Structure formats: C-alpha cells, structure tokens
Structure 1
Amino acid sequence: MRRTKKDPKPQNTSLGLADIDQEIHIASLKRQIEDMSGVSFTPPGRRLDPTLEAAFLERVLAFETAPRGTHFAELTRTGVVMPGPDSMTDAEIAAKLTEIVTKLAERRVFLYSTNHLSDRELYTLLVTRVFHEETTLMPPDPDSACHLDLLGGCSDADTRIWLKYYADDEERDRWRRDFPEDPIPAHEDPPYHRDASLPQREY
C-alpha cells in the first residue's frame, strides 16, 4: 500500500469576533470622518495594525468634533487672570508667564521659538494676539499635544527671525540653495534661553 503524507490541516483564516468588532469600529470611524469632512478618508501610508489604526482614527475624529475657541478664553476659564502688560512690572510678568506655561502644559499645549523675545515681549504677544486666535480645543490627552510655535505663521518676518536666531548652518545653506535671491541675515545667538526650560511634550 502506497503511503502518502497527511494533508496539512487547513488554516483557519477567518477573523475572530474581536477582530470583526474592530473592523466594524474602524469602518464606523472612517464613515463618521468622511461624513464630517465630505471627502473619502484614507489613512496615510500602508495599512496600519488595526489597533493602531483605530487609535489614529479616534484621534482624527476627536479633533474634527472638538469645539473651537481661544486659548485666552480657556486660560481665563481655569482662573488665569491676564492683565494688560502696561499695568505690570517685569517681575509680575515673569511670574505670570510661569503660571501661563504651566496651565498650558496641563492642557497639553506647548510653546516654542520664544528665545528671541524678552518676557515682556512674549507676554504682550501672547495676550494681545496669539491667545486670541481661534483654534481647536482638544481635551487633554497624554498621547497628543498642541504646539504653539511663535514663528509658525511663516511670514517674511518669521522667516527672517528663524534664519537669524534658530536655523543651524545646514538649514541656512539649504535655504540659500533653495531661495538664492532671498537675503539671509547673519547668524546671532538668541538673546534669551527660555525654550530649554519650558514644559515640553514627553515622547
């Protein structure tokens, strides 16, 4: 009698109930995002692990459904009083900035690119302009953050300040190659070193 190898047992490739629930959840999240945005939503890059994809989509949906408002109103709601800078001494402004950045960090909001500004200049910029710009108010989440880059407006003035105080040699050379007609200011060390002591997101 001819002997043959046993056929391997068929592999069970069907999804388990938990996997099916996850796929239904992902499809529901995509549909909600598409309904809100009016466009077909496709996560960037290759297909993520379903757990990671669901977490990513949940954050996208949370952002899309979060209320709009201002940081000034949110800080005021938490009890931060922000008087006009002309009514404050330098010491009072320094103390108020410490209070502000601490409260912002509690809400996962972090400041960047402040080293070219004195305390008074920074406080004035924040309470008269930056904090009054409407933004999406995300609930505090340890896995996410709002980054307030004071040079993030990308205006000509912002670019000049970045090139002067913040861009390293490689970045300045790249800018010179990409924009040969743009004048590049001579590098100067920023007059203040505040950024290193500001609360930062922990990755």
Structure 2
Amino acid sequence: MPLAHHPDPEEIECLLRNGELRTAIEPFLDEAIWEIDFRQLPTPVENRFLESMLAWELAPVAPIARWFTPILSLQPACTLDDDRVRERLWQTIDTLYSKRIVLDFTDHLSDRELYSLIRRDILPSTVKQVDLPDNYLHWDCSADEAGDPSVWLAYYASDEEREEWRLEEGRDPPPRQVPSYPRALPVAPV
C-alpha cells in the first residue's frame, strides 16, 4: 500500500509563491509565453523564471546616469589631464559595476576614448533597470550606432566567429588586430 506524500513546508511555500507569481504576471502575458512548457520545469525554476519576467515588466526605464544618487555625471574629457581621466574612469567603472553594469570589449579604446564613450553613450542611454541580483547589463563597447561589427571582428572575434561572418557576408573580415589597451575590468559572475 503506497504511502501518501505529505509536502514539507518548503514545498508548500514554493507552490504558494508560484500561484502569487502567476497571478502577478498574468496582465503582461502574450502568446509567446505559451511556447514554454512549464510542466517540464521544477516549481522553483519556474518561480525564478516568473520572478525575472515580473522584474522586467515592472522595471523603471531611466537614463543610466539616473540610476545613481546623486546622478552620475562626468565632465568632458577635454577638461581633464590624462591622470585625472584614468582616475575618474576607474571610479566610474566601479560605480557602474555597483549597479551591475559590465563594460565589454573595451581594450581597443584608450582611457580617454572609453571615458568619452561612457559620458556620451552609456550614461544618457535610457534602459530598464531590472533589479535582480543575478541580472547584469552588458554594454558592448565595440559596437557603433550603425551596428558595424568591424571593431569586434578585428579585435575580439574568435577564428570561428570570423569565419562564420565571412561565410554569411561573402567577404573577408577586417584584418585581426591586437588591442592596445588591455584592462582587467569587473565581469559578471559565471
């Protein structure tokens, strides 16, 4: 005779949380959500997924500079000497990382160029501020406004990625270059 399964308090709490999350996310759902077979997910995994969806839907949209108190602002690079640019750049990198903003592909940029890119492109960008401990915003510093992948291809792409690009585009990628400004920037945990 099989014994009845009596869920422990942790399982019950997980199921109750699942009901709360499903109710909270319902107004935001569209047909794309039903492509996920929730029956295949353990309830704790489903809860984590629903929590991340809800955090995304409810996240405020604001310029990155306004994610900070006081507002993060940088003076123009042309008003600073090289030592001050470097000092302020590293302070800013650490400050951005405190809000889980990670700068990717920066080693082709001088300190002054990276500082200017942060001031001109990153800080005024309006982005959803998703407040989850494992959510990081990655900023691709090799990209330009037109989406030209030349910098990424020249400095960062693997041989396989360069070959894939060559086959897709029908032309050779730009010559490989070694980045002139290697940095050990903070990275998102794996």
TM category, shorter:
0.7 to 0.9
What is aligned with 2:125? 133
Alignment match of 2:44 (pick from 43, 48, 51): 51
Structure 2 counterpart of 1:162, which letter?
W
* Structure 1 unaligned spans of 5+: 1-8
Q: Which structure: larger Rg?
A: 1
Q: Which residue of 2 aligns with 1:170?
A: 160
Counterpart residue number, 1:4: none
Name 1:185's counterpart in structure 2: 174
Distance of aligned partners of 1:40 and 1:174 in 2 relative to their CA distance in 1, 3 Å threshold? closer
Cα deviation per residue 1:96-148 (whole Å; 9 max; x = unaligned)?
Answer: 1111111111111111011111111111111112221110112362x222211
Q: How does 1:115-154 map to 2 (within 5 A)?
A: 115-139=107-131, 141=133, 143-151=134-142
Aligned residues: 189
Q: Do residues 109 (structure 1) and 101 (structure 2) align?
A: yes
Question: Alpha carbon RMSD of aligned pairs, Å?
Answer: 2.6
Structure 2, unmatched stretches of 5+, are none
Matched, 1:202 2:189: yes
Whether the 8 Å CA contact 1:34–1:40 is kept in 2: the answer is no
Gap change, CA 1:105 and 1:43, over 3 Å in 2: farther
CA deviations over 1:31-80 (Å, ceiling 9, x no partner) = 432312444634746622211221221122112111111112224x2464
Give the Cα separation in 2 of the matches to 1:24 and 1:93: 52
Match of 1:72 among 65, 70, 87: 65
Alignment of 1:60 onto 2:47: no
| Shift in CA distance, 73/105, structure 1 to aligned 2, threshold 3 Å | same
Structure 1 stretches of 4+ with a deviation exceeding 6 A read none
Q: Is the 8 A contact 1:34 1:41 kept in 2?
A: no
Distance between the aligned counterparts of 1:109 and 1:156, measured in 2? 21
* 3-state SS, counterpart of residue 28 of structure 2: helix
Mean CA deviation greater in 146-155 or 110-119 = 146-155
Q: Is the 8 A contact 1:107 1:140 kept in 2?
A: no
- Measured in 2, the distance between the counterparts of 1:168 and 1:13 equals 52
Judge conservation of contact 1:32–1:61 (CA < 8 Å) in 2: yes
TM-score using structure 1 length = 0.80
Query: Taking every aligned residue pair, what percent have the same amino acid on both sides?
Result: 26
